[in-house]
Copies of this chain bind each other. A is one copy, B any other.
């Protein structure tokens, strides 16, 4: 397969970890005979420094002209600590998501055997956990009309959804379930909210075209409990924007390390892949940042294009690195391995695979 990949490494540790993801993708290209073309562009604080704009026109153009975007991280303390700053690095990502029409956020949550002891949950609770959250990303209350009365004493936010907005993400989620354990759980609050009832109606109707996928429903307050009580019951969770924000962050801590969590944001024409961790500026240039989340975001990229074997091979390489302790200090404080070394191990594992 031929893929043009825009590389937006961004700030802080972004460039270092993204370099390891590229190394991994190059190894995959070599083994499976794909052609991946990488082209870089600035975003975030780096882009503000260069152009005054956290998302320069040329960067958006490159992303639109590419098959996928490999994203690093953004954020720099010099802007965070300046409350008067009108332009902020984080706007780069928000504008990019909007510009590319990325309406679905995908967050896999998995308990790696070697990291279970780092989880706040007990081993017997977390064992076998492997689910993924499909969160609607451009609708709902975060983007609805906001009002503040003239006297400043009343405020409101409107949550609204259309059938179309629900349908497009629902299809993605059902397709994902089909390639997994064939179970989809819609998280909503249909006993109270009109929008949730619409979600339930639309998702139920679409489910009829995915008869091999079982569909169930969970109220969001119950979901917040079940993710802690019995996370291994889930396969694919589908939910609206705000519920997805809350439960995907809740879910992110149960695996024991944020340094391993990747995510994708997908639209009709574009898709962006990134680690969920931030730019971690204190670690910049020190070769100590964990590259695995970025490498796993590259695996999600491959999965997105139907390259399942290739994605699986990356997962396998990561599992192996964890097993033998080829990890950075965030996972093992006695480790002497750095960002580059871990990336090299994973690329080598792939290159020598047969």
Please give the residue numbers on chain A whose beta carbons come within 8 Å of chain B beta carbons, in ascending order.
Answer: 119-122, 125, 141-142, 144, 146-148, 152-164, 189, 192-195, 197-198, 201, 220-222, 224-225, 228-229, 242, 245-250, 252-254
The interface residues of chain B lying within 8 Å CB-to-CB of A221 are 245-246, 248-250
Given that A156-B194, A194-B157 are contacting pairs, would A228 and B228 also be in contact in the complex, using a CB cutoff of 8 Å?
A: yes
Nearest chain B CB to A173's CB is how many angstroms away?
19
C-alpha gap A192/B142 in the complex (Å):
6
* A154 with B148: CB separation less than 8 A: no
C-alpha gap A252/B147 in the complex (Å):
34
* B228 with A157: CB separation less than 8 A: no
Q: Which of B242, B245, B254 contacts A228 (CB 8 A)?
A: B254
The interface residues of chain B lying within 8 Å CB-to-CB of A164 are 153
Listed A/B pairs (9) with beta-carbon separation below 8 Å: A120-B125, A121-B121, A141-B193, A142-B193, A154-B160, A156-B195, A157-B160, A224-B249, A225-B253
Copies of this chain, how many? 2
C-alpha gap A156/B194 in the complex (Å):
6
Nearest chain B CB to A107's CB is how many angstroms away?
12
Q: Which of B198, B222, B246 contacts A155 (CB 8 A)?
A: B198
Q: Which of B195, B220, B246, B253 contacts A157 (CB 8 A)?
A: B195
C-alpha gap A119/B146 in the complex (Å):
40
Other than the known A120-B122, A154-B198, A221-B249, what 4 A-B pairs have Cβ atoms closer than 8 Å?
A120-B229, A122-B122, A148-B197, A228-B254
Nearest chain B CB to A116's CB is how many angstroms away?
11
The interface residues of chain B lying within 8 Å CB-to-CB of A120 are 121-122, 125, 228-229
Nearest chain B CB to A185's CB is how many angstroms away?
16
C-alpha gap A195/B158 in the complex (Å):
10
The interface residues of chain B lying within 8 Å CB-to-CB of A158 are 156-159
Nearest chain B CB to A233's CB is how many angstroms away?
13
